[in-house]
């Protein structure tokens, strides 16, 4: 009877196998964490037992999204989709050397592009004549606007 009483005393402090809420840090030391769908069509795993730290997906595409509110309510904005053919970046993608600068800017929704720190611009039209050189002048201006060149030529 004493063993059963001891188990009953300890059990309220343990996580149920069918759902649990943790109010503090959770540490899995030397173990992988796998979360699998109930219908077994997909899963993701945080794996530490390989040669590195791996985030692995199985069975389905992955959508990385951002919710407006901290409780997963409000507007959900899809940022990225990972699928076997490759990643899909959705909306505006800014590539930099740290989290707070922009070196390259691809704005799919706005149909704009910018490189090497240039502000993103719409597709550039080239006008003018090849005969008198105005078309070349406009090409240089368009490439400069995109940030692909730094046009320092003189007329």
Taking only the tens place, the pLDDT of each residue in 5-35 is: 655 666 666 666 677 777 888 888 888 999 9
Based on the fold, state whether residues 96 and 79 are members of the same structural domain: no
Based on the fold, state whether residues 80 and 96 are members of the same structural domain: no
pTM: 0.60
Q: Which of 8-12, 58-62, 89-93, 101-105 has the lowest mean pLDDT?
A: 8-12
Range(s) of the domain holding residue 120: 91-155
Q: Give CA separation, 40 vs 43, 69, 87, in Å.
A: 8, 29, 23
Averaged pLDDT for residues 95-112: 88
* pLDDT confidence band for 1 (50 / 70 / 90): very low
- 49, part of any domain: yes
Based on the fold, state whether residues 108 and 80 are members of the same structural domain: no
- 42, part of any domain: yes
Averaged pLDDT for residues 114-128: 90
Based on the fold, state whether residues 96 and 155 are members of the same structural domain: yes
Strand order in the sheet with 33-36: 33-36, 43-47, 54-58
- 77, part of any domain: yes
């Amino acid at each position: 009877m004493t063993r059963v009483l001891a188990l009953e005393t300890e059990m309220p402090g343990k996580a149920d196998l069918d759902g649990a809420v943790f109010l503090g840090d959770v540490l899995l030391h030397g173990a992988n964490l796998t979360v699998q769908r109930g219908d077994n069509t997909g899963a993701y795993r945080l794996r530490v037992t390989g040669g590195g730290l791996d985030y692995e997906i199985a069975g389905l595409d992955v959508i990385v999204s951002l919710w407006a509110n901290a409780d997963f309510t409000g507007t959900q904005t899809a940022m990225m989709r990972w699928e076997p053919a490759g990643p899909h970046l959705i909306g505006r993608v800014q590539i930099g050397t740290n989290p707070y600068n922009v070196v390259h800017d691809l704005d799919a929704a706005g149909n704009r592009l910018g490189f090497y720190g240039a502000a993103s611009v719409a597709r550039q039209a080239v006008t003018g004549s090849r005969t008198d050189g105005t078309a070349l002048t406009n090409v240089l201006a368009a490439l400069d606007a995109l940030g692909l060149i730094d046009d320092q030529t003189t007329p």
